[in-house]
Amino acid sequence: MYSKVVETTNFLKETTEYRPKVAIVLGSGLGNLVDFIDEKMEIDYSDIPNFPVSTVAGHDGKLVFGKIGGIEVVAMKGRFHFYEGYEMKEVTYPMYVMKQFGIEKLIVSNAAGGSNKTYDPGTLMLITDHINAFGTNPLIGKNDDRFGPRFPDMTEAYKIYLRDLAKEVADNLGIAYKEGVYLGTTGPTYETGAEVRAFTGMGADAIGMSTVPEVTIANYLGIDVLGISCITNMATGIAEKAHSHEDVVDVAKKAGENFCNWVINIVKKIG
Ligand SMILES: O=P(O)(O)O[C@H]1O[C@H](CO)[C@@H](O)[C@H]1O
Ligand SMILES: Nc1nc2[nH]cnc2c(=O)[nH]1
């Protein structure tokens, strides 16, 4: 895998002159953030050697390089999910490439169901920690010490200094946010009511089908992570109607204005 990662990274270095240190992963319906990236240079995933392709609505499948407030960034407009049938190593492949490319900080976002009854649809939630309920781990297999250690520490999976900075930015802009624990499952089914009750008992405030694999690998590689969930629906049993991905994308788009404003100003501070 190491040589594949080097090949992909070399391709990107030959294709763009940008050398960002900040990367952003855009969740379902949150892709509009790229509209705020200046001097854009886009590369389709299908043109990148060894890259998987996005198969989910609301995930375009592009790497977008450019600048936010003069700070170089790269955004993933579209991510890969385990439920798409990808291996965990494929789901997390972009993280390995990001590290090799020189990324030091990652802002990861997602659409999620609110299991905390006080987190209404449209709420932006700063992720304080996560629970891996995928039943597997993206690091299972032989370890390659060139990437990271066999037993990575997850004490501060979502860096406190980045969370503090995000809170300061939100407070200055008057953006409302909550804080909470994200629980990641494989999907693609939304949860049963019983599962949501169980996950809530475990400490989950929001539930989704992504993020945990990427953040696990980012920590392994030594990339500092900030995570933001957009609560798009109340989780099963709390919600008054059945879920649909169309609604998820729709609500995420509506929350997009605050989300974009927040992330843009975070980038300006951390870049
Ligand atoms: O986590 P993101 O990619 O934002 O998307 C979330 O929304 C989709 C379900 O509607 C799932 O893919 C879930 O993980
Ligand atoms: N697992 C899961 N993923 C989501 N993505 C958006 N909403 C939800 C949800 O309620 N559950």
Q: Clarify whether 81 is annotated catalytic.
A: yes
Judged by its nearest atom, the ligand closest to the C-alpha of residue 209 is 1
Q: Is the ipTM of this complex over 0.85?
A: yes
Active site residue 130: no
Catalytic residue among 54, 210, 219, 258: 210
* Pairing of the two strands 224-234 and 105-114: parallel
pLDDT, tens digit, for every residue of 221-258? 999 999 999 999 999 999 989 999 999 999 999 999 99
pLDDT band at 55 (very low <50, low <70, confident <90, very high): confident
Active site residue 245: yes
**How far is Cα 203 from Cα 128, in angstroms, rounded to an integer?**
12
- How many residues does the structure list for the chain? 271
Q: What is the predicted pLDDT for the residue at 54?
A: 74
Query: Dihedral, CA atoms, 37, 225, 82, 14, nearest 10 degrees?
Result: 50
Question: Using CA atoms, how far apart are residues 73 and 126, in angstroms rounded to an integer?
Answer: 20
Predicted TM-score of the model (pTM)? 0.97
DSSP 87-110: -HHHHTHHHHHHHHHT--EEEEEE
- Under a CB-based contact definition with an 8 Å cutoff, are residues 93 and 50 in contact? yes
Pocket lined around ligand 2, Cβ cut-off 6 Å:
111-113, 185, 187, 190-191, 207-209, 232-233, 235, 243, 248
Q: Ligand 1 center to residue 17 CA distance, Å?
A: 31
pLDDT tens sequence across 75-112: 999 999 999 999 999 999 999 999 999 999 999 999 99
For residue 115, pLDDT beyond 70: yes
Active-site annotation holds for 244: no
Q: Residue 269, class by beta-carbon neighbours within 10 Å (0-12 exposed, 13-18 middle, 19+ buried)?
A: middle
pLDDT above 90 for 162: yes
Tell me the fold of 2-270: Rossmann fold (3.40.50)
Q: Which of 23, 54, 81, 235 is catalytic?
A: 81
Pocket test for ligand 2, best of 228, 248, 254 (most atoms within 8 A of CB): 248
* 109 flagged as catalytic: no
Peptide bond into 188 cis (omega under 30): yes
Pairwise CA distance, residues 139 & 87, whole Å: 11
The yes-or-no verdict on residue 44 having pLDDT over 90 is yes
Ligand closest in space to the Cα of 82: 1
The domains of the chain are located at 2-270
Tell me what pLDDT residue 225 has. 98
Enumerate the β-bridge partners of residue 62: 44, 77
Pocket of ligand 1 (CB under 6 A): 27-28, 56, 79, 81, 110-111, 187, 208-210, 245, 248
> How high does pLDDT run on average in the chain?
96
pLDDT for the residue 240: 87
Q: Determine the Cα–Cα distance for residues 192 and 178; give it in Å rounded to an integer.
A: 24
What pLDDT sits at residue 58?
A: 64
Is pLDDT of 50 > 70?
Answer: yes
Pairwise CA distance, residues 185 & 257, whole Å: 27
**Model confidence band, residue 59 (pLDDT cutoffs 50, 70, 90):** low
Mean pLDDT in residue range 2-24: 97
Q: CB burial class (10 A; 0-12, 13-18, 19+) of residue 197?
A: middle
